[in-house]
Homo-oligomer: A and B are copies of this chain.
Amino acid sequence: MTGSLKIVGLGPGSADLLTPEVVAAVDNATDVLGYVPYVARVAPRPGLTLHPSDNRVELDRANHALQIAASGGHSVLVSSGDPGVFAMASAVFEALEHGPAEWLKLDVQVLPGITAMLAAAARLGAPLGHDFCAINLSDNLKPWELVERRVRLAAEADFAMAFYNPRSASRPHQFARILELLSECCEPERLISFARAVTTPEERLATVALADATPDMADMRTVVLVGNSATRRIGRWVYTPRSAL
């Protein structure tokens, strides 16, 4: 029996954004693994074992999924959004790098999904319609100095920016520091959007001038989008023009 591992993206929340290949992967799985709230999005059925696990145990979860595939199971590792954007795909390749050599022969596939920043951008208009960057503001896996340095260089490059994991209970001061840093690099009118739990019943969207942004506008379910210097409002929309000077 030949097993497999598929690392799949469930999109931001709505089933309307699930790709057919991800639906098929989940339908054919023997085991689904992932962070508790993502596994909760998979319907139980006979023949399927659900393995919800805690946040911050990504490598253990990746190893477990690879072990299941190595024993002939069809394991599916679920991420929200896209598995390649601040999610489980990198953790699996880290586990592969440090695991037994025979794991490299396993049937492993990454199936993309709609990532939070693009779902948020679509709801807001087109704030990422020109060159942009995506930065994970968590310093769990990198020094905080590097986060600040990247935000500063992104502002200097006049990229629109998407911030993932902007704020958690354990580090509330850091997002305040990012807003301060942006104020040093950008004009006070710069548009900043807070998109929370996009496409779910808890969705909340807000766009303000940077000068009016406060740290409590973001939490860990929020993706923050910062416009470039040309980003503007038109009616209820926020968009970044395709051209730049």
Contacts and interface: CB of A to CB of B under 8 A. Distances in A.
Copies in the complex: 2
B141 A131 contact: no
Tell me which of A83, A91, A112, A244 has the highest count of chain B C-beta atoms within 10 A of its own C-beta.
Answer: A112
A187 interface: no
A77 to B, nearest CB: 12
Interface stretch (A18-26, A43-51, A174-182): A18-26
Interface in A116-164: 118-119, 121-123, 125-136, 141-143, 146, 149-150, 153-154, 156-159
A104 B235 contact: yes
Contacts of A142: 243-245
Interface string A1-45: 000000000010011111111001000000000000000000000
A15 to B, nearest CB: 7
Query: What is the interface of chain A mostly: helix, strand, loop, or mixed?
Result: mixed
Contacts of A83: 122, 126
A229 to B, nearest CB: 12
Nearest to A164: B131
Contacts of A84: 118, 121-122, 126-129
Interface of A: 11, 14-21, 24, 58, 82-86, 89-94, 96-97, 104, 108-115, 118-119, 121-123, 125-136, 141-143, 146, 149-150, 153-154, 156-159, 232, 234-237, 239-245
17 contacts: A15-B20, A17-B20, A58-B242, A82-B122, A84-B128, A90-B239, A94-B241, A112-B118, A112-B119, A112-B121, A131-B136, A133-B133, A133-B154, A141-B242, A143-B244, A150-B159, A154-B157
Given A90-B129, A93-B126, A94-B239, 14 more contacts: A17-B112, A19-B19, A84-B118, A84-B129, A85-B118, A90-B130, A94-B242, A97-B234, A112-B121, A132-B134, A143-B244, A149-B157, A153-B157, A157-B157
* 5 nearest CB pairs, A to B: A90-B129, A133-B133, A93-B239, A89-B126, A104-B235
